[in-house]
Amino acid sequence: KYMTAEPYKIKVVEHIGKTTKPERQEYLKEADYNVFKLKSDVVYIDCLTDSGTSAMSANQWSAMMLGDESYAGCSSFYKLEQSVQEVFNMPFLQPTHQGRAADYFVSQIYGKKGKYTFSNMHFITYLGHANVHGTIPIDIPVDEAFDSNAMACAFKGNIDIDRFKQLINEKGADNITAVIISLTCNNNGGQPMSMENLKAVHALTESNGIPIVLDCARIAENAYFIKQREPGYEDKTIKQITQELCSYCETAIMSAKKDALVNIGGLFITRNRDVFAEANQLALAFEGYITYGGLAGRDLEAIAVGLLEGCDEAYLEHRNAQVNYLGNRLKEKGVPIVEPIGGHGVYVNSVEFFPHIPADKNPSQRLVTALYEEAGVRAVAMIMSTTDHSVRSEKSLELDCMRIAIPRRAYTTNHLDVIANALGDIYQDRDTYGGMKRVDDDWNSALSLFTSKFELL
Ligand code: F0G
């Protein structure tokens, strides 16, 4: 009962520099009030993303020394294939340089101009490709997905089955080229999907001949939620759950930068031989030879080890507890957060935080800049929204949030306390903050959040 601390000890440390508030005000101005443009050495605690920011283990670093850098047939590929078998139980593996390359493959293989892909919520790196390609993405999450106080909803990453049935009838199954499911659902707070819901989606897709693609960036975190929350899974191992999740899909893609605990890498995994052949061709043209897919042999080694460590229950239990700790500390201070607390970070409801700042005056962006200004903490503004325009007018399907993503195995409870205390203080003084004006003209691009410019109002 005493072993509640980190299930690891620290062997290597990385220095983080401190800055003063006037310095940070200056850095913000130079960065056009867009924290993506800050140099990382002026950031004290970096919660911009949980992607590629994990601390690797001693086992991963030592495996990297065994990296086989042969152009073709490197032994590191076969080690990775072995780990992929254990976690996904699927036969064909094409590595990619990171998740979005696998997204690109999906958009090419499963997309078709003028036809539809459905999702709980498509991630922006797929949406960018879909836009170029002409496939029409439609998000069909459950109603609770955008309710930031849906505390009783254990699986806000679920798909609305009735809406899915209705859309199959409306659009015709032949016009739906794939269902692409994000596990967990990043866009609405790292929220999990239940096995029951995936089974129901699968029953519908199977009878209609529609393939399922799973975006598995955070599949281990999703599996942990299933184990905690879904009856019948209490006694299963994480790998049994990930394997069952994958049993319902034709293809699984993964940004290994999340749950595989590495700094770079992606996976495209399928059970369909023809799809594999297409992925190989795309890899040859854009990534590299089939067995390395744009990665060094040492990167493949790090993923092979990290994928299994990411499914370790003691690690997942601590990871989940850390994210919950931050969320609960914020709640104690009255800070409005999205509930239930998600898998990879805490999402703050910026509209409730700054009720006096109108939506078009960028309350999330103001909150992100305030948090950096006060404490050197970098988070990110995220507007959760759906691509299902037909229902947009009926319901409010948008939530303006600040995501505080927690890098894996990198920060301690003390760091989380800094974030909670700083946000608590900003919340006390919330009336003193005004909104922000966006001053660039790059509004329509799906990825414009990286380049946008703001001014304080
Ligand atoms: N799918 C999901 C669900 C993601 O969250 C991401 C990346 C990707 C695909 C793309 O993977 O970055 O390896 O190319 N999400 C990061 C984030 C960027 O901060 O949430 P990638």
Ligand 1 atom closest to Cα of 256?
Answer: 13
The CB of 49 under 6 Å from ligand 1? The reply is: yes
> Ligand 1 test: best mutation among 117, 125, 214, most atoms within 8 Å of CB?
125
Rounded mean pLDDT, 118-135: 86
> Which of 292-301, 308-317, 379-388, 448-457 is predicted least confidently?
379-388
Query: Does residue 248 sit in helix, strand or coil?
Result: coil
How much of the chain exceeds pLDDT 70, in percent?
96
- 351-360: long-range pairs with CB below 8 Å, 24+: 351/399, 351/400, 352/148, 353/402, 353/427, 353/430, 354/430, 354/433, 354/435, 356/430, 356/431, 357/433, 357/434, 357/435, 358/435, 359/400
Contacts of residue 57, Cβ cutoff 8 Å, sequence gap at least 6: 8, 261, 305, 306, 309, 409
Supply the pLDDT for residue 124: 83
Supply the pLDDT for residue 274: 98
**Distance between CA atoms of residues 59 and 305, nearest Å:** 7
What are 442's two structure tokens? 């790059």
pLDDT at 395 over 80: no
Query: Ligand 1: which residue has its CA nearest to atom 19?
Result: 49
* CATH architecture assignment, domain 58-309: 3-Layer(aba) Sandwich (3.40)
**Distance between CA atoms of residues 119 and 128, nearest Å:** 15
Query: Ligand 1: which residue has its CA nearest to atom 11?
Result: 99
What's the pLDDT band for 388 if we cut at 50, 70, 90?
low
Backbone angles phi, psi at 401, to 5 degrees: -130, 160
Query: Ligand 1: which residue has its CA nearest to atom 13?
Result: 99
pLDDT at 21 over 50: yes
Helix axes 75-88, 297-309, angle to 10 degrees: 20
Residue 371 Cα to ligand 1 midpoint, Å, equals: 23
Residue 50 Cα to ligand 1 midpoint, Å, equals: 9
CA torsion angle for 407, 413, 414, 415 (degrees, to 10)?
20
Q: What is the DSSP string of 389-404?
A: HHHHTTS--EEEEEEE
Supply the pLDDT for residue 447: 61
Residue 121 Cα to ligand 1 midpoint, Å, equals: 13
> Ligand 1 test: best mutation among 35, 36, 48, 51, most atoms within 8 Å of CB?
51
The CB of 191 under 6 Å from ligand 1? The reply is: no
The CB of 51 under 6 Å from ligand 1? The reply is: yes
Query: Ligand 1: which residue has its CA nearest to atom 12?
Result: 99
Residue 183 Cα to ligand 1 midpoint, Å, equals: 11
Supply the pLDDT for residue 393: 42
Supply the pLDDT for residue 127: 82
**Distance between CA atoms of residues 108 and 177, nearest Å:** 11
Query: Ligand 1: which residue has its CA nearest to atom 8?
Result: 99
The mean pLDDT of the chain is: 94
How much of the chain exceeds pLDDT 90, in percent?
84
Supply the pLDDT for residue 126: 85
What are 359's two structure tokens? 């939506």
CATH 3.90.1150.10 region(s) of the chain? 21-50+312-456
Rounded mean pLDDT, 75-95: 98
Ligand 1 atom closest to Cα of 50?
Answer: 19
Ligand 1 atom closest to Cα of 100?
Answer: 14
Query: Does residue 188 sit in helix, strand or coil?
Result: helix
What's the pLDDT band for 324 if we cut at 50, 70, 90?
very high
pLDDT digits (tens, 9 = 90+) for 346-369: 999 999 999 999 988 999 999 999
What's the pLDDT band for 392 if we cut at 50, 70, 90?
very low
Cα–Cα nearest to 370, from 400, 398, 342, 350: 350
Give the H/E segment covering residue 180.
strand 176-182
Residue 283 Cα to ligand 1 midpoint, Å, equals: 19
The CB of 105 under 6 Å from ligand 1? The reply is: no
Query: Does residue 270 sit in helix, strand or coil?
Result: strand
Residue 380 Cα to ligand 1 midpoint, Å, equals: 14
Supply the pLDDT for residue 386: 66
Give the H/E segment covering residue 274.
helix 273-286
Q: What is the DSSP string of 342-404?
A: -SSEEEEEHHHHSTTS-GGG-HHHHHHHHHHHHH-EE-EEEEEE-S-HHHHTTS--EEEEEEE
Rounded mean pLDDT, 177-184: 97
CATH 3.40.640.10 region(s) of the chain? 58-309
Residue 207 Cα to ligand 1 midpoint, Å, equals: 31
Q: Record the pTM.
A: 0.96
pLDDT at 444 over 70: no
Complex ipTM, two decimals? 0.99
Query: Ligand 1: which residue has its CA nearest to atom 9?
Result: 99
pLDDT at 279 over 60: yes
More confident residue, 220 or 123: 220
Quickly tell me which residue has 């894996």 as its tokens.
408
**Distance between CA atoms of residues 264 and 269, nearest Å:** 17
**Distance between CA atoms of residues 23 and 9, nearest Å:** 34
Residue 186 Cα to ligand 1 midpoint, Å, equals: 8
What's the pLDDT band for 143 if we cut at 50, 70, 90?
confident
92-96 and 436-438 strand pairing: unpaired
Residue 63 Cα to ligand 1 midpoint, Å, equals: 25
- Tell me the CATH number for domain 21-50+312-456: 3.90.1150.10
Supply the pLDDT for residue 394: 46
> Ligand 1 test: best mutation among 46, 258, 404, 447, most atoms within 8 Å of CB?
258
pLDDT at 1 over 90: no
